[in-house]
Structure 1
Amino acid sequence: MLDARGVPLAPEEFRLRFQRIKTKMAGKKAYPVINLREFKGSKEEKMVQKMFQVITTYPSFVRFINLEIHNCNAEDGTSFSDAYITLQTTYESMRRQKTDFVTDRPKCEGVEMKDMLNIKILEKFQEGGVDVIENYDQPGVSQAFNVLLNFLREIKSHEIGIWKSIDTASTTSKETLIVTGMAHHLFSRLVPDMKYEVDQYAKELPKTCVCGCNSSISEGDTSLGSLGTWHGRVDIMVNDTIAVAIGKEPSDYTEEDDDEPQKKQRKIETDQKCDIRVDVKRHSSVLLDLKVLNQILAEAITNGFAQVKKNRSSLSDFLIPTFGATADHISLCLYDPINDCLLHIFKELKLWINTHTRYKLNPETIIIIWLFLNFTSFTKKNLASAADLKKSGLHEHLKEDLYYYREAKEKCVLQPPDGPPWEMTSILVKHPNN
């Protein structure tokens, strides 16, 4: 491919232009894609450098808990929505209550986000910005930085896209439109290929983004697992690798639950010098509620096995991320199926910040999402050994049923048996003694 002067394009410029063409052909809104070198000295470059300084300077900025499983129904082959997991800390806390708190408070181990990351890349960007990263020798790094900087430059468009999707939703389609808005305007925009699929069987799934950008929604088969494992369809699959579960918002919120009114208006600025005012309920996130948390943990574990089976050479010994999301919060779970290590973020991330003039996407949260979406570039391989992480205990719990998880697949046909559960059994009729 040649530029306007007839000169062959540099490899990076060729890739960016080719990506623009692919985006237009796919019917997606093609935001202007800017070359890395054009971000030199930009406010976006400085914003990322400042965030990296926070990550490298304040190690407890984000913390992950090393989870151990006491009991679960992983061997039952239930759906993600019916998964139950009793964590060791929960079990010990319940026993402590039964003994009137005589025993010591349960303890669990954790790891700082800083210790999970390839921190040298962040430090190099802090020092030299895009000049250092533009021709970085590790595959995928420069492309990942390019999508982040482009996202931050177009961040207002993505804010509008997400909130218009949410505001357009009716009661029956709200969860689906949160899925499509987050998939199209958030998660997919933070990976180089911008590839995603939303569950093709979602209720009232639109063909195009309802925010007004008229981009096609990428739908597909997002099923995971088998009848021998936790299984089901995830809400979003990013880059054929990372699962995203959208948590349902509570429907029983009342004004008495908060000192503030039940609804408040959220102001989103547009580029047309007018504002969108979105009515949103004020509530805490549901991502740490037990049922939702269990579903996210089950999806993270099953997807971890499926990804390693598909890409064993490239993904073995990585902690593979799964995101939980609502319109307001993000959670993050990671599972290493080779070493049986399970981590969950200690505290949810706030997706929005109130600047007193309008609501904005939280740049800190965006950068953390970006780091883990591009985990093969920015997180450490074999952290389980390096940090001496505790095993979750799932392998030991499953015993011979571990085979089914190691054979777990994406896009599998799930055919639960019809009829009552005893239909395929041999029945021995018992008669009373005379």
Structure 2
Amino acid sequence: MAEHIENSNTRKRVCEISEYDGPSRPCHRRKRHCNIGLCNNQVDSSEKNHLFAEVPERILKNVTRALERLLVDNLGRRIVRLAPLKLLNCNAADSSLFSDAYCSMEAFDGEFSLWSLFQKGIQLLMDFIDADPEQESRVTILPDTKQGELILDKLLHYLVEIDQQFHGEIGTPDRIHGADLTIILANHLFGKVATSSKFLLNKQTKGNKKGNYKLSSCRCGTSNCKLTGRFGDTSIGNDQVWHGDLDAIIDDQVVLETHEGDTNSGYCLGDRSPADMERDHSVERVSRKQEIIAKTITFSFLQKQRHPDYEHFLFPCISVGNDYMVVYFYDSEHDILLESSRIPLLGEEGQTNLLAVIISWLVVNYKYTCDGLTEEMKDKQAGFISLAKSKLDVYERDLQFGDVENDVPSDVQASQPQLVEESVPTLRQKLDKDRLKTLLKFSD
């Protein structure tokens, strides 16, 4: 209730912006220049710094509609929600690979809006597109910092780019899977809207062999599409606790994971019934979610260790599938674990979902867009600190980035499958319930 009252003025402001058509003009006039060189090379050099000079009005209207879906409740329910999670049990104090991570969990009562974490970033974007009906044309406020200008430039460039091309920038869901999906989204979405287009891909990715992956080429199928990132060592953790490889790291700041298995690995079907296959796939999805949460928590501790001067220690992990993404957050200072509702990557007609683009921009630039936890969130402690108490000093001081051994003692490997197997029925039931609760349909 308190959050609803505090944010009512902002919601009203977004609605007013979306309803205001403004004068009949083809472009939104600006006076500043853009900071980055993503413009067409054929454009005259004197015209290349154009983005803060002209932004097509239709793009700004579409951004406003997307913000409205993000900020304004729909029939009393937030479009993109955050559920605080409580860990009931986990093997974080054991020597365990991420792939063998065990996390039994449940959601706290109550939800939060995702946008409450990103008021700085949303304010920056709203100031740019805000409208004053008393003026002849829109009056906007430009960022007052270089970093603010840079991240706004990155978003606007990307929006102009996909508006001009409009050919399904992130591909077709039915033909992109696993490692290919990670590579394409890192190269065509998350790397494009981050402050740096550089990203690191797991060099151990299945299929990253001669004849399968060209180390400098994207997997999107477009000829001459080059990677702005590279393959390398993405291992993190410590062999005394959770450890292993991440799928990708965007701009050295954000973890990117796929939540669907590589279709090339598959199952040996034989005479198995549809019910048996569905049960195995459900087990795989539950196990993968536990792995992603383990990576989110470990990376958060690692980032706090690497960047003790940050304003807050809430770090995100983006989990992507063929048609939607989920964002996880963990704050190792306050022991808060959050999970977003599903965010569709594509619109109803197969085009890039603008809401997903804006959320991606907010998340990968969280260093400049995120406010950290709200006071209401700090009461929903995950319980990781107490569950990992015996190895907490390792998480706080001895985590590594790179050169982490990807093995565990044989006696630990033998004990972990039993832990996971015992937790599957309860977690599968919760997964099915959550899936029904979080299916969303967006429409303009």
Task: Please give the TM-score of this superposition, normalised by the length of structure 2.
Answer: 0.68
Structure 1 gap segments, 5+ residues each:
1-11, 25-31, 90-106, 258-284, 423-434
> Is the 8 Å Cα contact of residues 198 and 222 (structure 1) preserved in structure 2?
yes
Q: How does 1:3-402 map to 2 (within 5 A)?
A: 13=33, 15-17=35-37, 35-58=50-73, 60-89=78-107, 108-118=109-119, 119-128=122-131, 132-134=140-142, 136-138=143-145, 140-155=147-162, 157=165, 160=168, 162-163=170-171, 167=175, 174-202=177-205, 203-204=207-208, 205-207=213-215, 208-210=217-219, 211-216=222-227, 217-249=229-261, 251=266, 289-315=285-311, 317-345=312-340, 347-355=341-349, 359-383=350-374, 385=375, 387-402=377-392
Give the Cα–Cα distance (whole angstroms) in 2 for the partners of residues 390 and 191 of structure 1: 30
Aligned residue number for residue 9 of structure 2: none
Q: Which deviates the most, 201-210 or 369-378? A: 201-210
What letter is aligned with 1:79?
L
- Residue 213 of structure 1 and its aligned partner are, at CA, apart by 3.0
What letter is aligned with 2:362?
L
Change (3 A) 1:252 1:367: farther
Change (3 A) 1:15 1:304: same
- Residue 67 of structure 1 and its aligned partner are, at CA, apart by 0.6
What letter is aligned with 2:202?
D
- Residue 184 of structure 1 and its aligned partner are, at CA, apart by 0.7
> Is the 8 Å Cα contact of residues 243 and 406 (structure 2) preserved in structure 1?
no
SS in 1 for 2:68: helix
Give the Cα–Cα distance (whole angstroms) in 1 for the partners of residues 250 and 99 of structure 2: 20
Give the Cα–Cα distance (whole angstroms) in 2 for the partners of residues 206 and 341 of structure 1: 40
Change (3 A) 1:333 1:288: farther
> Is the 8 Å Cα contact of residues 224 and 411 (structure 1) preserved in structure 2?
yes
- Residue 224 of structure 1 and its aligned partner are, at CA, apart by 1.1
Give the Cα–Cα distance (whole angstroms) in 2 for the partners of residues 47 and 302 of structure 1: 37
Task: Please give the TM-score of this superposition, normalised by the length of structure 1.
Answer: 0.70
Structure 2 gap segments, 5+ residues each:
1-31, 42-46, 133-137, 275-280, 413-444
Number of residues paired by the alignment? 345
Give the Cα–Cα distance (whole angstroms) in 2 for the partners of residues 33 and 365 of structure 1: 28
What letter is aligned with 2:326?
S
SS in 1 for 2:347: strand
Pick aligned residue for 1:412 from 402, 415, 423: 402
> Is the 8 Å Cα contact of residues 16 and 33 (structure 1) preserved in structure 2?
no
Aligned residue number for residue 23 of structure 2: none
Question: CA offsets per residue over residues 113-165 of structure 1, 9 Å max, x none?
Answer: 2322215434423415996353x124522221211121122226585554389
> Is the 8 Å Cα contact of residues 233 and 403 (structure 2) preserved in structure 1?
no
SS in 2 for 1:413: coil
What letter is aligned with 2:335?
D
> Is the 8 Å Cα contact of residues 229 and 408 (structure 1) preserved in structure 2?
no
What letter is aligned with 2:109?
C
Structure possessing the higher radius of gyration over alpha carbons: 1
> Is the 8 Å Cα contact of residues 80 and 298 (structure 1) preserved in structure 2?
yes
Report the identity percentage. 20
SS in 2 for 1:37: coil
